[in-house]
Amino acid sequence: ASPSPTVIVIGAGMSGISAAKTLHEAGIHDILILEATPKIGGRLKKTQFSGLTVELGANWLYGGGTVANPLLDMATKLKLRTSLNDFENITSNTYKQEGGLYPSKLVEAINKVATARNDFCSKLSERLSSKKKDVDVSILAAHRIYKQEPKTPLEMVIDYYYNDYQDAEPPKVTSLKHTYPRNEIVDHGDDAYFVADPRGFEILSQYLAKQFLSSLTSDPRLKLNKVVREIIYSSHGVTVKTEDGSTYNSRYVIVSVSLGVLQSGLIDFKPTLPLWKRIAISDFSMTIYTKIFLKFSYAFWPTGPGTEFFLYTHARRGYYPLWQHLENEYPGSNILFVTVTADESRRIEQLPDETIEAEIMEILKKLFGENVPKAESILVPRWGMDKFYKGSYSNWPDGYSQNRKDQLADPVGPVYFTGEHTNDKYIGYATGAYLAGIDTANDLIECIKNKSCRGFNRNRWH
């Protein structure tokens, strides 16, 4: 039998790969990565749609700010094909529920209120952060304090664009203090680079992995199609069991699966994780963000400069609100995609594709006329139903304290945790996942090399 590795890393998404690479660079080479699916990258996931590569998961990288975005730097190095998205004209491209554009002056006025409200949110958040006590409110509460709660369909769709479109949850549930000001944008910048490359966003995780693995298919330190179902841990070490009946032993384990997977109970921890840890996991939010792609025989929507995005208003907040065409990235592709989130994602995930397509066609007919052609194909990712993700990314809910958030990342005995949800500054983002992997690995390196093991502190793990 091969000797047991020092560390098993569960999951080969951005955080797991980044953790493994950090361990490797610190001289800890006896590692084993167990990944449930046939490939690395996790939520960095491309697919082929009508002969083109589209991203089912992460799509944007942010840049242009005061802090370098390590993933954007990597993307530049790899000459990843991206296009800079232009959201400037959204106020000229906002459609009414029954069709027809709103006058841009009206949308601009509402947009002005929304941006002033965003500024207020940032200031209120900073004020709350300066207080010693962990006082927080929801973003919606902040809107009410500002006396500008979005109520009309038009106000709601603009609010959706600024909040739900990022957080994938409504302002009613999202923490103000831990969301505003938006770190990803403040630090990395608001230049939104949309990845449209045949190699996919996932090339970034492959690039990192190749720096310490000889091959992504045959290096014995990476095992694909290994679904972890059980982690048995004690002060002596860890035993990991997979669905196919294999057993692996190690001294430590890093769990990088999504928050949704942790919440779902797919992995059985023995003994059960302590209550503080289970509360930290259960009380945080795992959201759903769905990009529905549609291919048509021709582009019947406006194309050309300033048309990339359009908004659809509806009395039901979040009903197919945000649309993008791919003519800038792939001219002549005739592909549109619409983004839905949270409860709307949960609703449509239960529906057959034909029903979703019928709902979408009803809207497109209102906007562009009865004669619009039928879609040639439709692609509906179902992140919420996928047992290896159970959602898209995490979101900080109102009422969830910093202390609890720290516990989400805390190790339990020899069991360490990483993933975008354990990062503080850029939670939800691929950059957050990358940095989380480095942080968790460094925490564990401190334990292995200097015997300073947080997981065993104060016997908290019993």
Q: Token pair of 31, please?
A: 């590692």
For the CB of residue 414, give the shortest distance to ligand FAD in the complex, in Å: 17
CA-nearest of 275, 281, 268 to 239 is 268
Query: CA separation (Å) from 19 to 216, 255, 297, 398, 442?
Result: 16, 10, 45, 29, 8
- Select the span of 28-36, 74-82, 319-327, 451-459 touching ligand FAD (CB under 6 A): 28-36
**Helices H / strands E in the chain, number of each:** 14, 22
Q: Token pair of 168, please?
A: 């994938």
CB closer to ligand FAD out of 153 and 321: 321
Answer yes or no whether residue 36 interacts with ligand FAD by CB under 6 A.
Answer: yes
Answer yes or no whether residue 189 interacts with ligand FAD by CB under 6 A.
Answer: no
Strand partners, 193: 61, 84
Binding to ligand FAD in span 391-450, by CB under 6 A: 392-393, 419-420, 428-433
Interface map 251-280 toward ligand FAD (x if CB under 6 A) = -----xxx--x----xx-------------
For the CB of residue 141, give the shortest distance to ligand FAD in the complex, in Å: 26
Measure the CA–CA gap between 272 and 282, rounded to whole angstroms: 14
Measure the CA–CA gap between 435 and 448, rounded to whole angstroms: 20
Using the rule CB under 6 A, which residue among 28, 228, 412, 438 binds ligand FAD?
228
For the CB of residue 415, give the shortest distance to ligand FAD in the complex, in Å: 14
Dihedral, 85, 182, 18, 67 alpha carbons, nearest 10: 80
Interface map 100-139 toward ligand FAD (x if CB under 6 A) = ----------------------------------------
Measure the CA–CA gap between 120 and 137, rounded to whole angstroms: 13
Answer yes or no whether residue 20 interacts with ligand FAD by CB under 6 A.
Answer: no
Please report which helix (H) or strand (E) contains residue 228, including its range.
strand 228-234
For the CB of residue 402, give the shortest distance to ligand FAD in the complex, in Å: 20
Contact criterion met (CB below 8 Å) for 115 and 161? no
DSSP output for 158-219: HHHHHTHHHHSS-TTTBBSTTTSS-HIIIII-SEEEEE--TT-TTHHHHHHHTTT-S-TTT-
CB closer to ligand FAD out of 95 and 383: 383
HSE, side-chain direction, 13 A CA sphere, residue 360:
30
For the CB of residue 288, give the shortest distance to ligand FAD in the complex, in Å: 8
Using the rule CB under 6 A, which residue among 13, 189, 200, 414 binds ligand FAD?
13
Answer yes or no whether residue 388 interacts with ligand FAD by CB under 6 A.
Answer: yes
Residues in binding contact with ligand FAD, number by CB under 6 A: 40
For the CB of residue 245, give the shortest distance to ligand FAD in the complex, in Å: 14
Q: Give residues in contact with ligand FAD (CB under 6 A).
A: 10-16, 34-37, 42-44, 57-60, 227-228, 256-258, 261, 266-267, 289, 383, 388-389, 392-393, 419-420, 428-433
